[in-house]
Every structure is written in structure tokens, then in C-alpha cells.
Amino acid sequence: MTNILISDTKSGHKTATINGIKLHSAYDPIKECERSVSELSIGKANLLIVSGIALGYHILEISKRFPNTSILAIDYSSEIINYAQEFNRLSSLGITCVSNKEDAINFIELLDLEKFTGLAHYIHRPSHGLNPEFYDSIVSDCSKLISSRISDLLTRFEFEEKWVENIFLNVPKLSKGFAISNLFNKFKSMPGIIVSAGPSLKKNIKLLKNINEQALILAVDTAFPVLRKHNIVPHLVMTLDAQKFSIKHFLGQYNTNTALIADLVSCPSIIRDFKGTIFFSTTSKIAYTDMGECLRETTPSVDWLEKFILPVGDIQSGGSVATNAFDVLLNLGCNPIILVGQDLAYTGREMHSTGTYHNDGWIPTCSRFLNLDTINQNIIRKRKISRVPAYGNERNERNETAITDFILTLYRTWFENSSKIVPVKVINATEGGAKIENTLEMSLQDVIDSMSQKKSPVEIINNIKTNHINNENISTGIKNALSTAEELEKIVNSKSDMNLYEQTYNILEQFETESLYRPLLRKANFYIARKSFNESDTNNIMKAELPRIINKIKPILEKCLSALK
């Protein structure tokens, strides 16, 4: 129980005591905070997390000293936050005050990292001492999330130009496909199975052969060739990798009753050559502000594309195709969601199930001096591995562990967090690998025995394949995008002394193409935002970057426009 006492100080300001601990000076809390904050240095950081709000005097002083810094203030007592707001009106200064981890994480999720220059931390010692684990845990999780989001941003730097290219190469094929949103809520209360390509898939794969009428089977692309080798036809297969090697999952695929779910950035060769029905999706991140406003961060250029076609359907991701597949089944209305081959560990010191293209590609390199076990071992040794509780520990009480690594742990954490909050039952029927918290462990045979589904998933899919995506209006948008490129060429070659950065965005606004070109300009924007450049330096950066962007985008747009005719 928290006992808060508010009292007057000799200087006339209020002070607070919690459970006998004074949060501020009983004489002059203002001068006390001025002295404390005077020692704070934040360098180039533009985000400051404050552990402990108390009555907010130190936060007011921080705000004065660092007016251009965003402040996230944390306190374990919502009651003390109310007092701080009453006496010092922190919210009116744009300071975010939270009393739980969820709100702190949501703040970090909404942070614009393209303008992020660093994180600083201030500890209000009296408050922190009342509940150090609370504060340290939240600050640690916020720091990890920022690191993860920066990693995602760097991934965007590396891949998003490829994503933009693939989107425009796939645009002419949209009219032959359907939006994944057509499938949303069409499989209510039908069991949905995600088949991944973990090493344990070989244990129970044969059980999937005769349940096509009992559950919707969605395979990730790496598991697709494994299922085909066992003459198992999943209802759906999902791909979202933009790189060319992903076509190997589909080699030897002829006419099929399996429908493909393809992210708009997927390798164009897969979409071009796939013989069955195609449903298009896009990966987006959905977050909500404190006011309940929905913020959507989607794949680069998709928001521009949606000016000319209806949205195909958002799928949220945890970084892997299996996490996307989970969100697909959730949107389709499946219940329960069943995980098969989702090891999230190197079960038996193997990377993947036998039958994947990875394993098949290694077989020709084998000899009497080098076998598949050795190849797997050599790769795993290069990873920073750790041990986690294994699947089945609750039943056999042997406290077995599974070998995993940092990336697989991120995916496992995503599944654990998602399984905790979704309104459906999540069953882990992998029968191997790492334990996934918040899921129910069952053998696949027991899961199948419990099924009573009667309606055919194939029938549902076939009944909604009527409305192809209409891409007829995209040509107009692409012409505008090409006109934008021509105008950008003019200002680059101009000898005008005008601000090139401002001119660029004026042109993008004029042709309504800012959302298309933004991902291509992201590196330049990221660099400029972090440096105190004068106009001349900024102009030089833009003069170097714009020709590269123009040379990249023009051929892609011209090829797309030609294919649409």
C-alpha cells in the first residue's frame, strides 16, 4: 500500500512523502532540483527517459535546460503522477508521463526514429529507491525496443529500394490476383495450422496428409517443398521475401490447388511463374496513440499505391514469414491457431527440416569428409547460441533445454507475446524445439482427434475468387511519378542557389509523389537530420543523392508503365 503525504515547504512550494520517504526538499524543492539537473549532460540525445516523477520539479528544470528534447517520464504511482500534473501541469509542456510498461513501450513504438539522435536517462533517486526493479525494467525494455527499431530502420535502408522495385514489377500482375482482405473473417472458428520448416516437422508431417477437410493449412514458403515431397497439398502458402533465392522454394511447382499469399514486395519471379491462385498482402505496423488514433506504418510506397488501388489487406509481422502467417490466420478468423514445425531452436543441431531447399542445396557438397550433420554444426557454431526450456518439459519434468540464438529468440518472444493477447487459443503441436510460453502444448495427433470441422476450406477459397484487383488507374500515377523524376533532374542540373532540399519536397508535393519517393530519400533525410549542416552542405548531399535516385526509379517506372499497356 502506498501512503502519500503532500505538505508545504518553507519556500511555499509543495513537497511529497511516500511511505516515509521524502521525494523533495522540505525547504526549497526548486533549488534542490536546479542543483541536481545542473549536473545532467545528454550529449546529442533528443530523447530523455526520467525514472521517477515525484511532483515534477526536476522535470520542469530538465524541460527548461533541454527544450528540444522529448521527455518520457515514468513513475510507479499513478497517484503521484496526478499530483505532479495538478501542481506543475507537465502534460501542457508536451511531457509524456506513464505509470506502466505498456504505455512506455507504446511511446517508443510511436517515436520517429528517422529523427532520433540518441537516448539519455535521468534518475530521480528518492523515487527510484522506492521501486528500482520497476524503473530499471522499463528503461531496459525501452532501450532494447529502440535498438530493435533502429535495426529495422537499417534493414529498410538495405532493402527498401529493392522492395520498391519489386512492388512496381508486381503491379502489372495485380489484375490477375485477389486482395487477401477478401479472405478476412471467412474461416471463423475453423482450426488453422501454420506449417513451418523447423527440424521437428519430420516427426509429424505425415499426419497433415488427410486433414484437408478438417483445418485450414497454411505453409510458409520454406516448408512448401517439404510438404510437396510428402504429397501434401496445403490450402495456402505464404511468401514475403524480396530476394531472388526465394524462388527456390517453388521450383518444380506445377499446376496446384494451393493458393499463394504474396506480399507486394515478394520476388516477382515467384508471382510470374506461380500456377495457382494468388492473394496479395502488404506488411504493416499498426499502433494507437493515447487518444485512440490509429497510426499505420506500411511497406515503402504502398501508401502511394493505395491512391490508385483499393488496399489489399494489412498483415502485421514479427520479422519472419511464420509471424506474418500467424496474423493471416488471425485475420481469417481461425480458432484455434496451431503451430507445426515451429521449433525456434536448432533441434537435433539441425537448421531446418529435411526436404527444404537449404538441405537439398547442401547435399551435392557432401562427401565422406563432409556430411549434412557437419554442415549444420559448422553453421550453428558461428551463431551466438543460448539454451532455453524445451518443448514438453511440463509433461516429462526432465527440464530439458533447446539450443537457440538471438534471432530465433526474438521470434519466439513475438509468438509468446502475441499468444498472450490474441482472442483465440494457440496450440503448439511442433513436438520439439523451444517451449513457447502462453501456448498449449499438444501432439498433432491429439489436435486432429479433437477436430470436428466439416466445411471445406477449398470451397470457401473458391467461392470468393470473384473480384480481381483493379489496377487500371495506376498508369496515371506512374506518369506523375515520371514527371516528378524529370523535374528533379532539372533542379539538380540548375545553377540556382535555392535550397535544393526545399525544392525537392516542393516538387514531390506538386506531383503528389512524396510518399513514393520518401523511401528512396530516407538515407539522405536520416543523415541530414543527425548533422548540423548548413544549406550548402545539404545542397551537396542532395546533388549527390538525387541523380542516384532518379537513375534507380525511372527505368522501373518505365518498365511498369510499358507492362500495363
pLDDT value, residue 361:
57
Q: How far is CA 216 from CA 211, 269, 308, 453, 523, in A?
A: 9, 26, 32, 10, 42
373 pLDDT above the threshold of 70: no
Q: Where are the beta strands (DSSP E) in 268-409?
A: 278-288, 294-298, 314-315, 337-340, 385-389, 401-405
273 pLDDT above the threshold of 80: yes
pLDDT value, residue 532:
66
Section 57-67 average pLDDT: 93
Element (H, E) at 225: helix 224-229
What crossing angle do the helices spanning 474-493 and 514-530 adopt, rounded to 10°?
40
Q: Where are the beta strands (DSSP E) in 400-472?
A: 401-405, 426-428, 440-441
Q: In this predicted model, which residue has the larger pLDDT, 492 or 220?
A: 220
* Residue 242: closest CA among 304, 310, 321, 183: 321
Section 500-528 average pLDDT: 88
26 pLDDT above the threshold of 80: yes
Q: In this predicted model, which residue has the larger pLDDT, 21 or 440?
A: 440
| pLDDT tens string 308-337 | 999 999 999 888 899 999 999 999 999 999
pLDDT band at 285 (very low <50, low <70, confident <90, very high): confident
Q: How far is CA 543 from CA 179, 281, 411, in A?
A: 40, 36, 41
pLDDT value, residue 397:
62
DSSP-derived 3-state class of residue 58: helix
pLDDT value, residue 134:
94
Backbone angles phi, psi at 130, to 5 degrees: -75, -25
Bridge partners (DSSP) listed for residue 8: 14
Q: Where are the beta strands (DSSP E) in 138-251?
A: 178-179, 192-195, 216-220, 236-239
- What is the grid cell recorded at 356? 527444404
Q: Indicate the burial class of 21 (C-beta count within 10 angstroms; 0-12, 13-18, 19 or more).
A: exposed
- What is the grid cell recorded at 154? 537499417
113 pLDDT above the threshold of 90: no
Mean of all residue pLDDT scores within the chain? 87
Q: In this predicted model, which residue has the larger pLDDT, 173 or 351?
A: 173
pTM of the model: 0.79
pLDDT band at 120 (very low <50, low <70, confident <90, very high): very high
Bridge partners (DSSP) listed for residue 440: 427
pLDDT value, residue 355:
62
